[in-house]
C-alpha cells in the first residue's frame, strides 16, 4: 500500500518541485534585472527610447504627478538605493530626492544629475539663487537640442554601466537621434511663421523654449507651485491682460494655480494649457515627442498662429550635399586685413555663420566647436575654425576680434560690407534676416539665421555640415574619419 501511494503521488511531487524551480528561477531573474530609475516622465521617455529591447526604465513619480508636491514614499527609498542607475534632473526640481540621492551614492549606485552635465545648455534661473549660489532653470528638455545631446550622454552612461547590451543602446541611440533631429527641424521652422502675438505664462517653464524658438513670452506670474505669486506681480499682470497687452495666457496641467481665477476673471484672453511634465500622456518612448508636439500646438493656437511656416530644410546631424557649397569671396578678418577663400586653404575648415549680439544659438555653437577641437587634441592642428558674421552693421573687425577670443585662440572672425556678406552667405546657402520686434528699439534687432557648421576640405571643397544642437562628442565623431593620417 505504501509502495502504491508512492507511485500515485510521485507526479504531484514532481509538479511541486517544478513549480519551486520555476519560482526560484523567476526570483533569480528579478534579482538580475538591470534597474534604471528615472524621476520624471520626459527623462523616462528618453531612457525608454534608448532601452527598447530591454526591461526598460522605471518611473519614480506616478503618471499624473509632478515633483513640486511629491513626497517620497517609505517603500520607494529601497527602490532608489537598489537601482543599478539613477537619473534625476537635480535639486532645483526634485527637492524630495536630495537626501535619498546621497544615500544611494554612498551605497554605490551610479547617479546622473542632469543639471550638472556640462554638455547640456543649462540656463540660470530668472528668479532667485539657491544656497550654493546661482540657481539653475531645470526645464532644459523644453529645448529639443538639449534632448539631442541628452540622448548621446545617456547612451554613453548606459553602455558603461551595462556593456553587455551596448549594441542595443547604440542602435536605439541612432534611431532616437534621427527622430529628434526631425522634430527639432519642424519646431524651429514652424515658428518662423509666428511673427505676432505676445504671451504670458502662469509658471516659468518656457525659458528654454523661448530661446530655442524665438517665442515671445513677456510676463511670468510665478516661478513654480513652491513659490506663490507675489501680490504686485499678480496685479500688474492682471492689468496687462485686461488691457490686451498679452494675446495669450499659458497655464500648466498638473500644477495647482490658486491665483488663476483672480488673474483672469473678467478678462477676455486666450488660455492655453501646457503639459510640460507629460502628466496627461502615457509614459513610454513616445511621450517626449507627444509632449513637445502638444505644447507647440497649444502655444500656436493660443497666440493665434498665422499658419505660414517656412518649410524645414532636410538636415541631419551631419549629412553630405550634392549642391555646390562655397566659392570665391572676399572678406575682412578680425585684424582688419583683406581675406579670401585662398587664405583658408591648407587646413580643414569649420565655418559658422552668426553674429555677436546673438543671445543663445551662436555662443552655444561656437562653444561646441571649441570643445570639439579641444577633444581632438593634436588632430585639431589640421583644422581652422571661422566665424562669419551675418550682421556687418554692428560686427566690425574690432567687435569680432573682442568676441572670438572668448571661444578659441585659433578662431578667426570674418566681416565685411553688406554686399560681401550677402555673397558669401549665398555661396554657402545660408539664410539670414533682420527681425525688429514691434515697439522695440530698432537698434536692438535680432538676426534670424541658419545655424549649421560647415566642414570644408583643405582645398576648399565642401565635405559635410553639422546641425545646430549636436554635442561636441558627436562633432568629434563626424570629424575623425577625415583626419586620419
Q: What is the pLDDT of residue 72?
A: 87
Banded pLDDT at 484 (limits 50, 70, 90): confident
**Domain range 36-188, CATH architecture:** 3-Layer(aba) Sandwich (3.40)
Query: Binning pLDDT at 50, 70 and 90, where does residue 184 land?
Result: confident
Determine the straight-line distance between the first and last CA of the chain, rounded to whole angstroms.
87
Average of pLDDT values for 62-91? 89
Query: For residue 308, what pLDDT is reported?
Result: 44
Q: Looking at 32-36, 85-89, 129-133, 268-272, which range is the least confident one?
A: 129-133
CATH 3.40.190.10: does it fit domain 194-302? no
Determine the average pLDDT of the residues in 382-405: 94
Which residues lie across from 177 on neighbouring strands?
none
Q: Pairing relation of β-strands 85-88 and 36-38?
A: parallel
**381 has pLDDT over 50:** yes
Q: Are 430 and 353 in contact (CB under 8 A)?
A: yes
Residues 6+ apart with CB under 8 A from 370: 385, 407, 408, 411
Give the three-class secondary structure for 49.
helix
Nearest 5 degrees, angle CA 148-CA 115-CA 279?
Answer: 70
What stretches of 195-354 adopt beta strand conformation (E)?
Answer: 199-203, 217-222, 248-252, 270-274, 318-319, 330-333, 338-340, 348-354
What integer is the mean pLDDT of 105-117?
94
**What confidence score (pLDDT) does residue 440 get?**
66
pLDDT at position 4, please?
35
- Reading the block at residue 443, the C-alpha cell is 537698434
Strands 330-333 and 412-415: antiparallel
Among candidate residues 398, 395, 397, the one with its CA nearest the CA of residue 355: 395
HSE, CB side, 13 Å, CA atoms: give it for residue 312: 15
Top pLDDT among 63 and 409 is at 409
Could you check whether 194-302 and 318-482 share the same CATH topology?
A: no
Do 228 and 222 meet the contact criterion of CB atoms below 8 Å apart?
A: yes
- Give the domain ranges of the chain: 1-32, 36-188, 194-302, 318-482
Task: Tell me the CATH number for domain 318-482.
Answer: 3.40.30.10
Beta-ladder partners of 86: 37, 111
**Radius of gyration from C-alpha coordinates of the chain:** 27
Amino acid at each position: 500500500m505504501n509502495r502504491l501511494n508512492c507511485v500515485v503521488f510521485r507526479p504531484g511531487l514532481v509538479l511541486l518541485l517544478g513549480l519551486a524551480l520555476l519560482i526560484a528561477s523567476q526570483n533569480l531573474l528579478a534579482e538580475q534585472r538591470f534597474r534604471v530609475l528615472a524621476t520624471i516622465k520626459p527623462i523616462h521617455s528618453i531612457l525608454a527610447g534608448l532601452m527598447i529591447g530591454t526591461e526598460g526604465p522605471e518611473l519614480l513619480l506616478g503618471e499624473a504627478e509632478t515633483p513640486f508636491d511629491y513626497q517620497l514614499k517609505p517603500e520607494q527609498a529601497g527602490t532608489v538605493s537598489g537601482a543599478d542607475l539613477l537619473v534625476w534632473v537635480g535639486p532645483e526640481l526634485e527637492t524630495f530626492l536630495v537626501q535619498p540621492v546621497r544615500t544611494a551614492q554612498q551605497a554605490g549606485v551610479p547617479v546622473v544629475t542632469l543639471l550638472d552635465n556640462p554638455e547640456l545648455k543649462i540656463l540660470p534661473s530668472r528668479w532667485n539663487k539657491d544656497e550654493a549660489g546661482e540657481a539653475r532653470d531645470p526645464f532644459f528638455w523644453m529645448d529639443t537640442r538639449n534632448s539631442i545631446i541628452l540622448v548621446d550622454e545617456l547612451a554613453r552612461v548606459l553602455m558603461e554601466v551595462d556593456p553587455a547590451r551596448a549594441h542595443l543602446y547604440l542602435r536605439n541611440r541612432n534611431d532616437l537621434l534621427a527622430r529628434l533631429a526631425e522634430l527639432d527641424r519642424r519646431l524651429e521652422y514652424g515658428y518662423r511663421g509666428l511673427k505676432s502675438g505676445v504671451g504670458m505664462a502662469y509658471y516659468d517653464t518656457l525659458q528654454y523654449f523661448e530661446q530655442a524658438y524665438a517665442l515671445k513670452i513677456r510676463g511670468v506670474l510665478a516661478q513654480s507651485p513652491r513659490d506663490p505669486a507675489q501680490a504686485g506681480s499678480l496685479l500688474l499682470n492682471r492689468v496687462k491682460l485686461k488691457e490686451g497687452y498679452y494675446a495669450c495666457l499659458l497655464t500648466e496641467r498638473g500644477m495647482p494655480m490658486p491665483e488663476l481665477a483672480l488673474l483672469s476673471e473678467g478678462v477676455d484672453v486666450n488660455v492655453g494649457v501646457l503639459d510640460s511634465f507629460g502628466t496627461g500622456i502615457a509614459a513610454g518612448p513616445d511621450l517626449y515627442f507627444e509632449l513637445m508636439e502638444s505644447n507647440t500646438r497649444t502655444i500656436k493656437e493660443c497666440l493665434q498662429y498665422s499658419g505660414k511656416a517656412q518649410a524645414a530644410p532636410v538636415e541631419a546631424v551631419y549629412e553630405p550635399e550634392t549642391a555646390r557649397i562655397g566659392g570665391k569671396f572676399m572678406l575682412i578678418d578680425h585684424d582688419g586685413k583683406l581675406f579670401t577663400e585662398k587664405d583658408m586653404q591648407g587646413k580643414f575648415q569649420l565655418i559658422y555663420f552668426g553674429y555677436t549680439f546673438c543671445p543663445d544659438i551662436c555662443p552655444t555653437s561656437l562653444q561646441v566647436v571649441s570643445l570639439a577641437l579641444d577633444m581632438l587634441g593634436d588632430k585639431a592642428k589640421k583644422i581652422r575654425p571661422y566665424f562669419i558674421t551675418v550682421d556687418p552693421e554692428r560686427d566690425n573687425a574690432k567687435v569680432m576680434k573682442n568676441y572670438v577670443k572668448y571661444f578659441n585662440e585659433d578662431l578667426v572672425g570674418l566681416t565685411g560690407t553688406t554686399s560681401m556678406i550677402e555673397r558669401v552667405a549665398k555661396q554657402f546657402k545660408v539664410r539670414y534676416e533682420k527681425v525688429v520686434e514691434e515697439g522695440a528699439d530698432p537698434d536692438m534687432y535680432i538676426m534670424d539665421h541658419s545655424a549649421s557648421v560647415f566642414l570644408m576640405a583643405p582645398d576648399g571643397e565642401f565635405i559635410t555640415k553639422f546641425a545646430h544642437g549636436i554635442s561636441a562628442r558627436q562633432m568629434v565623431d563626424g570629424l575623425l574619419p577625415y583626419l586620419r593620417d
